[in-house]
Every structure is written in C-alpha cells, then in structure tokens.
Amino acid sequence: MKFHHSDNAPKALGPYCQAVEVDGWLYLSGQIGLDPWTNEMVSGGFEAETRQVLSNLTAVLATGGCTFSDIVRATIYLLDFANFPKVNELYAEALQSHCPARTTIQVAALPKGALVEIDLVARIP
C-alpha cells in the first residue's frame, strides 16, 4: 500500500490521505471545491466549485500516473439534485468520451458547506 499526496490539491481536512494505491488501483478520497493554496472554498457557486473539484482530482490522479481516462468508478455527492444537469455537463467535459461507472447521490450536507464532492477509483496504467 502506498499513500499519495499532491501539493496541487487541498490538504486533507481530517485523518485521511488524498489517495491510496493498492495492487495497481488508485482510490481517491472525495474532493470538494477547496482552493489548494488557501484551503478555503472557491467563490462563484456550483460551477466554480465543480471546476475546482475536477482540478483537485486531476492533481491527485497525477500522483499515481493517472488521468481521467483511467477512472473506472466515480461517486458524485450533490447538496441539491437541481445541479444534476450542470454536474453532468462539467463532468462530461472533463472526461471527454470516457464513461466510467458512476453513482450520483443527493446528501444533507458536505464538509465546509460544499455544494458538490466527488471521489474516484482509477486503474493505474
């Protein structure tokens, strides 16, 4: 087992790591719209938060030599399911033609008042 960390993604908010590598798989902890330099939520609403989440995930994926094309499973947590069409648009933009398995869930609350959180599982190439 190997623990991964990127300085280009926010530090963990608790006792966990950004990602764990096990037997050729990279398991990424959930990312919210935290700016990695300030560790504060980005401003600008749902779209800005989602773009930051995807940027944070990109940085953590890179620590294992992965990109979005290596994702096999994603879970998206939304504070409000009304944002489902927008998250689909931004997620599809980031993944391009790649379509891994995915679950999307509406939740009662997310850390730091976030509107969206995404976690991933990727196969290391």
Domain residue spans of the chain? 2-123
In this prediction, residue 66 carries a pLDDT of: 98
Class at the top of the CATH hierarchy for domain 2-123: alpha beta
34-68 pLDDT per residue, tens? 999 999 999 999 999 999 999 999 999 999 999 99
- At residue 97 the predicted structure's pLDDT band, cuts being 50, 70 and 90, is very high
Sequence letter at residue 94? A
57: three-class secondary structure by DSSP = helix
105-116 pLDDT per residue, tens? 999 999 999 999
Q: Helix 45-63 to helix 84-95 angle, to the nearest 10 degrees? A: 30
Query: Global pTM?
Result: 0.96
Beta 116-123 vs 19-22: how paired, if at all? unpaired
